[in-house]
Amino acid sequence: MISRFMNERRQIVQLHPAHILTFGFLGLITIGTLLFMLPIATQDRHHLSFIDALFEATSAVCVTGLAVVDTGTTFTLFGQIVLLVLVQLGGWGFMTSSILMFLMLGKRIGLKERILLKESVNYGSLQGLIKLVQSIIAITLIVELIGAVILSIRWSFEMPWSKAIYYGIFHSVSAFNNAGFSLELDNLSKWVGDPVVNIMITLLFIVGGIGFTVILDIFGKKSFKKLSLHTKITIIVSIFLNTISMFIILFLEFDNPATLGSLSNSDKMWAAYFQGVVPRTAGFNTIDIAQMTPSSLVYMIGLMFIGAGSGSTAGGIKVTTAALLFLALWAVITNKQDVNVFNRRIPQELINRALSIAISGILFIFTIFFLLTITEKGAELTKILFETVSAFGTVGMSAGLTGELTPVGRILITVMMFIGRLGPLTMAFALMFHTKKNSHVRYAEEKILIG
C-alpha cells in the first residue's frame, strides 16, 4: 500500500511541465469561477450562472477580455477587484505568480520550480531566472503605476477623483496585461479622439505585449546593434505591423458612417491608429467593431492570429513565429539552404517548432470554428471566425457575437481562450521535452510529390 502511494506520488511529481502549468491555470480559473458565483460579486446579488462565471474567469486568467456580461454594470467592487486580480495573475503567468509568492514567504526555489518557470516565461536559460521574475514584477508595477497616474489625472477632469483613480488603476492593469476589460459599456468609444487616452492605453498594451525579455534587453543594451536577434525581429515586425495596419484600417473604414465616416479627420486618425494596433494584443476598442466592414474584420483576424511578442502578456502564435515562417518561405523561394537574418542563421529546430505552433493553432481554430457553425445557427461566418480567432489570440475583441452565444457556444469559446493561452506554448514544450533522439536508427530516405 505504501509503495503504491509512493509510486503514485512519484508520477505526480514527474508530471511534464506543460501539464503542471495547465493545472495551475485551471486552478486559478476554478477559484475565479467560484468567486464570481458568489452573490457579493454581482450588483443584483444574484450570482452568475456557472457557464457565465466560468467564461468570465477564463477570460480574465487568460487575459482575453471577451465578456458575456458588462463588467461595469454587472459586477460589484468586489467582483471587479476579483477580475483585476485574476487578470494580473494571468498576465504574469501561473509560475511567475507562484515564484512571487515563494519569494514573499521566504521559500527556497528549487530546480524543478526553475525549470517550470523557464518554460512558463519562454526563457532560454536557467541562470538568472529569479532575477528575471523580480524584474518582471518590478516592470509591471512601475509601468502600471505610471499608466494609472496619467489616466487618473486625465479622467479627473470629467469624474470625481476617487472614481478617476479607480478607473485609472483598472484600465492600466487591464491594458498592460492585454486583457481589454473596461468599466464602460461601450469600452473606450467616448474617448475615440482623446490623445491622452489613446496614447496611454496603446503604450501600455504595446509594452506589455512586446515581451519582458525584450524590455530588459532594450534597457540593458541601449543600442540597436547590440540587441539580441529575438529583440530585433520583435521590434521591427511590431513596428511594421502597427504602422501598416493603421493606414489599412483608415483606408477600409474611411467612408463607413458607422465607424470612421462620421468622425472628424483628426478623430479618424486616432481611431484608425487605435484599431490598427489593438488586434494583436488587447481587446479594447474606440469604435463599434461589429459595424466594421467585412474586409476590416478579415484583416484584423490575421493580426489576431499573429499576436504579439513571445514571453509577453499577449497571445497568438507570436510575431517571431510568423517572422520565421515568412523567412523560411523566402529561403525556399530564393533557393537558399539556410534561413538567415541579420547575418545570423536560424536553427532548423526553431523553424520546425514555429511551423508546428502555427499548424496547431490553425487546427484548434478550425475545430472550434466548425463546432460554432453548428451551435450558432444564423450567425455570420465572418463574425464566428472573428470571435474564434479573438479567443485563440487572447485578444478579446468582439464583433458583437459573444453576448449572443448559446450555452454550448460559450463553452466552446471558453475552451478556445484556454487553448489560446496554453495551446501553442504547450506544443512547444512537448516538442522540447518529449522528442526522443535516436542516433542509432535512421531510415532510408524516399521523396513524395508535394505542391
DSSP 38: S
So what's the pLDDT on residue 105?
A: 56
pLDDT < 50 positions in the chain: 1-2, 5-6, 8-13, 430-431, 433-435
Kindly give the interhelix angle for 129-155 and 212-221, rounded to the nearest 10 degrees.
90
Amino acid at 396: G
Q: How far apart are CA 362 and CA 385, in angstroms?
A: 12
So what's the pLDDT on residue 378?
A: 85
So what's the pLDDT on residue 8?
A: 45
Q: 167: left (phi > 0), else alpha (psi -120 to 50), else beta?
A: alpha
So what's the pLDDT on residue 113?
A: 61
So what's the pLDDT on residue 238?
A: 93
Residue 280 · residue 206 · CB < 8 Å:
no
Residue 157 to residues 150, 154, 161, 261, 266, Cα–Cα distance (Å): 12, 6, 9, 28, 22
Q: How far apart are CA 375 and CA 406, in angstroms?
A: 7
Is 234 in a helix, a strand, or coil? Answer: helix
Residue 91 to residues 106, 335, 376, 417, Cα–Cα distance (Å): 23, 41, 30, 14
- Please give the span between the terminal C-alpha atoms of the chain, in angstroms, as a whole number: 58
Beta strands in 74-170 (DSSP E): none
So what's the pLDDT on residue 166?
A: 95
Non-local (6+) Cβ contacts of 385 within 8 A are 301, 365, 369
String of b and e for 3-31 (b: at least 16 CB within 10 Å)?
A: eeeeeeeeeeeeeebbebbbebbeebbeb
Quick one: cell of 44? 443584483
Residue 260 · residue 254 · CB < 8 Å:
yes
So what's the pLDDT on residue 36?
A: 94
So what's the pLDDT on residue 270?
A: 96
String of b and e for 111-141 (b: at least 16 CB within 10 Å)?
A: eebbbbbbbbbbbeeeeebeebbebbbebbe
Residue 420 · residue 392 · CB < 8 Å:
yes
Q: How far apart are CA 364 and CA 368, in angstroms?
A: 6
Domain residue extents for the chain: 17-433
Closest CA to 431 of 358, 378, 334: 358
